[in-house]
Amino acid sequence: DAEKKPAVIFVLGGPGSGKGTQCANVVEHFGYTHLSAGDLLRAEIKSGSENGTMIQNMIKEGKIVPSEVTIKLLQKAMQESGNDKFLIDGFPRNEENRAAFEAVTKIEPAFVLFFDCPEEEMERRILSRNQGREDDNIETIRKRFNVFLESSLPVVEYYESKGKVRKVDAAKSVEEVFEAVKAIFTPKEE
């Protein structure tokens, strides 16, 4: 059909790797709309929706919310934004998320921005964040790390095999990481 599909970039990386921080920088410089799947799920809890309690329990355990819930929230946010280019932050988190998003939206990402960061550094960042997130305690952090290694890294590997991963060393300062991110978003002169 003649309808133009939006441009989507998946922003992936472990808990606390700096996805949200860097997405805010990209929005400012490159005109994307930032959609954090985690933020959308937390807003859904706050709104008192019928799924709220289920989502809250899953986040507390570091588990991945069923994809139909997350995909619906993403689609709604995309429609409401009026934009046609999106940073989807923290999704897809497992193979099922990835396949369902593709099947439902028929959208494939232009590329995957992957923040590579050692676990000790991610843990340090999360524990000093102090934003009152219910999953920012050491017990849940450990669970989030395990889910990331077992379920989310395979998604990065899938896109790696398609040549779609742009990997950034996320252990550096916010400014240094953004320099690397900027280079990825800036069209190269031939």
For position 43 contacting ligand UP5 by CB under 6 A, the verdict is no
5, 9, 15, 20: which one contacts Mg ion (CB under 5 A)?
A: 20
- How far apart are CB 23 and Mg ion at their closest, in Å? 8
For position 64 contacting ligand UP5 by CB under 6 A, the verdict is yes
For position 129 contacting ligand UP5 by CB under 6 A, the verdict is yes
For position 109 contacting ligand UP5 by CB under 6 A, the verdict is no
- Which residue stretch of 14-22, 27-35, 99-107, 182-190 sits at the interface with ligand UP5 (rule: CB under 6 A)? 14-22
* Residue 132, annotated as binding a ligand: no
Q: What is the 3-state secondary structure (H, E, C) of the chain?
A: CCCCCCEEEEEEECCCCCHHHHHHHHHHHHCCEEEEHHHHHHHHHHCCCCCHHHHHHHHHCCCCCCHHHHHHHHHHHHHHHCCCEEEEECCCCCHHHHHHHHHHHCCCCCEEEEEECCHHHHHHHHHCCCCCCCCCCHHHHHHHHHHHHHHHHHHHHHHHHCCCEEEEECCCCHHHHHHHHHHHHCCCCC
Residue whose beta carbon is closest to ligand UP5: 38
Which residues bind to ligand UP5, rule: CB under 6 A? 13, 15-21, 36-38, 41, 58-59, 62-65, 70, 90-91, 93, 125-126, 129, 135, 144, 173-174, 177
